[in-house]
Structure 1
C-alpha cells in the first residue's frame, strides 16, 4: 500500500495571489482591520473559505507572545467538586477572552510532572493546578514562576511556601464544623475516614476534626482512624473493620462524600439505624448526598465561588491589573458551611 503525501495547505500568500492583492492586505482583512474596506474583507474571507485556509493560531501566538490559552491540571475530572469548578472557571475565562486547556493527572505525580512540562512547552499564558494526592515536591512548576507565568494552586495546594497564587477552601473549619456537630448530636465514640496526609486538604480537615473533639475532652481511637485513597472499595474495607467487634462507633466523619455514601449503604446492609445508632457526615456536598436515603449531612465547599476567585486572580495577573482578590504567596481561604440533613 502506498502512502499518500498530505496536500499542502494554502497560505495568505496563495489567497493574495488569487485575488491580485498583497499578503498584508489579506492578513488585515482576515483580522477585520478597519483600514480595509468591508467589500475587500468579504472577498478575502470568501476566497479563504473556498481555498480551505486555516488560521495558524500557534504562529500568531509566537509573534504576539500570547496564546490566550490557560492550562488546568486537576486530579480527576469525574470528581464533583472539580467538575463544577471547571464548568464555572471555563465560562468566566471564555468571557474574558481566554480558552481553557484541561488535563487530569489521575492523582499520578509522574503524570502531573509530564503535564506541567507539556503545558509549559505549549506556551500557555497561565497555569491552574490542584495537586495530585501524593505531590509534595512542586519543583516541576518552577519554570512557570521563573518565567513570570501566572501560576495558581487551588483546593489541593502545596504544603510548603510558594511564590504562586494560592486559593483554598477552609478545610480546617470544615473539620471543626463536623466534629462540633457530631458532639452536639450526642456522639462520643467517633471514627474518621480521611485521605492521605500528604495532601493539604486532608491535613487541614484532620486537624480541625481532632481539635473539635479535643475541646470536649474526646480523643480519637487510633484503630478507628483511616488515612487512605477515598474510594468506595476502601470505604467498605474500613467500615468492615470498624463494625466487626463488640465496641462500634456512634459517629463517623468521612472526608469525602463517596465514603459517606458507602457508609450509608453499609449501614443499610447491616441494618444499623441512621441516625439513631450511627450518625454520618460527609464532605463536598455532592448532589448525590441530597437524594440518597437518608440524605447525608455534608460540608459545602462552594466550588463556583472558588472558581470566581481563581478567574479574578488570573485575569488580573494576565492583564497586569494586579490581583483583585489575593497576592502572591498569601493564601486566600474560601468559606465552607455545614449542610445538615437526616444522617445526623
Structure 2
C-alpha cells in the first residue's frame, strides 16, 4: 500500500496542499481548528512525516550557524554566549552549528556572527552565500544590497561611562585603562578605549591607556600594571578584556597595591566584562555582568525573526548589560 501523502490529505479534507503542509509543520496562518482537523486526519490515515522532504519544501536545513573568531574564542564570555544561542535554537527545534574561519559552505538557515574582525574572510563568504545573518556586536564588512541582516549589540560606551562614574563616586581621580589592541576589531575594544579617553578629557585629566593582545602573557600584563601604578601613578585600573582584572590582582599586591572597592583608601580595580569565576562578586573588583548567555539567546531570537519573516531593512537591537556591581555573601554588610 503506497504511503499517504500531503496530496492525499488535502484531497480528503478539501483543503489546499499549502494549508495542509502549514498545519502539519505549525507555520503559516492556519486556525487551531483547521490544524486539529488536519492532525486528526493525518493520524487516522497513517500519514508519516518525512523530515528531509519537509525541509526541502520549506528550504530549511534544521540548523543555524554561529561564528566566533579564534582570537577571542578562549574567553568565557563567548562560551556562555554560545550556550544561550544553543538554548534559543533548541526552543524552535533547530540545531546549532559552529563555524571556523576555514568554513566554505554553510548548510544552515542563517547564522550569527559575533565580534568578527573587519577583514575576516568567513564573514564575506557568509554574506555571499546570501544566508540571513545576525551580527552580534558591530563587526565585519558591510552587507550586500538586499541582504537579510539583523544586528544586536551592547552599548559599551554606556558601560564605560557607568563604571568610571562609579569609581569617581568612591574617590578615584586618576584612572588607568588596560584594553585590547584593536586595529582590525572587534569594535567593542575600540569603543571602550575611545569612551575612556573621552571621559578623561571631559574630566580634565590625562587618559593613561595601555593596549595588550587578546591573551597577554604574565610578563606583558605585569609590565602594563607596573607602568600604570608607577610612572603614571593611577589610583584605579579599568580592564576592558574579560579575565584580566582577576589575573592582575596578585600582581598588584606585589606592586604594593591593595585592591578593594569597599575601602575608602583601597586601590580600585574594575572589569568591563566580568568573568563569572574570577571577577563577578569579588570584593576586590568592580565588575560589570554583560549577561552573555542572555545576549546569545537574544541574538538567536533575532535570527529566527529575520529568517522566518525577512525584514525590508536591517533590524537593530540592544542587549542590556547588568549595570550594577554584583556582590557575594562575603561582601554583605551586617544589618
Give the match for residue 305 of structure 1.
294
Q: Say yes or no: does 1:265 pair with 2:247.
A: no
Q: Say yes or no: does 1:215 pair with 2:189.
A: no
Mapped partners of 2:212, 2:318: distance in 1: 24
Task: For 1:235-254, list aligned pairs within 5 A.
Answer: 235-243=221-229, 245=230, 248-254=233-239
Give the match for residue 137 of structure 1.
119
SS in 2 for 1:300: coil
Q: Say yes or no: does 1:286 pair with 2:275.
A: yes
Give the match for residue 206 of structure 1.
193
Q: 1:340 to 1:291 in 2, by over 3 A?
A: closer
**C-alpha contact (below 8 Å) 2:252/2:258 kept by paired residues:** yes
- How much does 1:210 deviate? 1.5
Give the match for residue 135 of structure 2.
153
Q: 1:274 to 1:238 in 2, by over 3 A?
A: same
Task: Compute the TM-score of the two structures, normalised by the length of structure 2.
Answer: 0.71
1:58-84 alpha-carbon deviations (Å, 9 max, x no partner): x87456521011011123555322222
Q: Say yes or no: does 1:69 pair with 2:50.
A: no
- How much does 1:89 deviate? 2.0
Q: Say yes or no: does 1:87 pair with 2:87.
A: no
Match 2:94 to one of 98, 123, 138? 98
**C-alpha contact (below 8 Å) 2:243/2:274 kept by paired residues:** no
SS in 1 for 2:176: strand
- How much does 1:308 deviate? 3.7
Q: 1:196 to 1:66 in 2, by over 3 A?
A: same
1:97-126 alpha-carbon deviations (Å, 9 max, x no partner): 2111124x5xxxxxx2x13x23x2xx2110
1:233-276 alpha-carbon deviations (Å, 9 max, x no partner): 34234223434x46532110100331111221212333422233
SS in 2 for 1:182: helix
Give ranges in structure 2 of 5+ residues lacking alignment.
9-23, 26-38
Give the match for residue 125 of structure 1.
109
Q: Say yes or no: does 1:165 pair with 2:150.
A: yes
Q: RMSD of the TM alignment (CA)?
A: 3.5
**C-alpha contact (below 8 Å) 1:180/1:212 kept by paired residues:** no
Q: 1:241 to 1:247 in 2, by over 3 A?
A: closer
Mapped partners of 1:291, 1:131: distance in 2: 26
**C-alpha contact (below 8 Å) 1:272/1:278 kept by paired residues:** yes
**C-alpha contact (below 8 Å) 2:242/2:273 kept by paired residues:** yes
Q: How many residues align?
A: 284
Q: Say yes or no: does 1:185 pair with 2:179.
A: no
Mapped partners of 1:60, 1:175: distance in 2: 48
Give the match for residue 14 of structure 1.
none
Mapped partners of 2:189, 2:298: distance in 1: 22
Give the match for residue 51 of structure 1.
none
Mapped partners of 2:231, 2:266: distance in 1: 14
Give the match for residue 33 of structure 2.
none
